[in-house]
Amino acid sequence: MANVYGVAQTYSNAGAAIAASQLGANAGHRDVARNGLTKALAAFDVDFAVNATDFSATELGAGGAVKEVLNVIATMGTIVGYSALRADGGANAGQVMTVLIEGDFGTLPYDGTNNETLAAHLEDLIQAKTAAGTGPVNLNAATVTVVTGFPLAAV
């Protein structure tokens, strides 16, 4: 790898100095505008809105409501990651998760009838699950919102 910055760079691995030219990746790359995932990602917060249920304790299994919701989202795009369940901003533990899917989605007739955002369409699909998971739980009040900012920083 050529050092295009003309600076002798070394990195340390367990105390041993390694020249940047010996690394397989472009460790010295400083052009932030050119770094990235190379694919568009859409991020959504899903609030299950069943405040008496901690989904992280009761609905994470193979037959749980969380899996059902992820399956619904996967019908619209490739899921590339999702966060741990977290509180909804109040005292309701295990209520919200962030889901990242591959793609750049505009306003389209996703349901074949009216133009809407993908978040609104996903919300409709999730709200239709009135007996989801092992509880079962009613997700008719669930919300889906587009995440703004850097979605991997969700806490």
CA distance 130 to 40: 32
* pLDDT tens digit sequence for 54-107: 999 999 999 999 999 999 999 999 999 999 999 998 889 999 999 999 988 888
CA distance 50 to 31: 45
Instruction: Go through the domains of the chain in sequence order and give each one's CATH number.
Output: 1-35 (no CATH), 41-153 (3.30.70)
Q: What is the pLDDT of residue 90?
A: 83
In this predicted structure, the answer to whether residue 137 has a pLDDT above a threshold of 80 is yes
Mean pLDDT across 26-52: 72
Q: What is the pLDDT of residue 54?
A: 92
- For residues 143 and 7, the model is more confident at 143
pTM: 0.73
Q: Work out the percent of the chain whose per-residue pLDDT is above 90.
A: 54
Q: What is the pLDDT of residue 70?
A: 97
Q: What is the pLDDT of residue 66?
A: 96
pLDDT band at residue 33, thresholds of 50, 70 and 90? low
Nearest to 75 by CA among 129, 121, 43: 121
What b/e sequence results for 101-134 when a residue is b if at least 16 CB atoms lie within 10 Å of its CB, and e otherwise? Answer: beeebeeeebeeeeebbbbbbbbebbbebeebbe
* pLDDT tens digit sequence for 117-126: 999 999 999 9
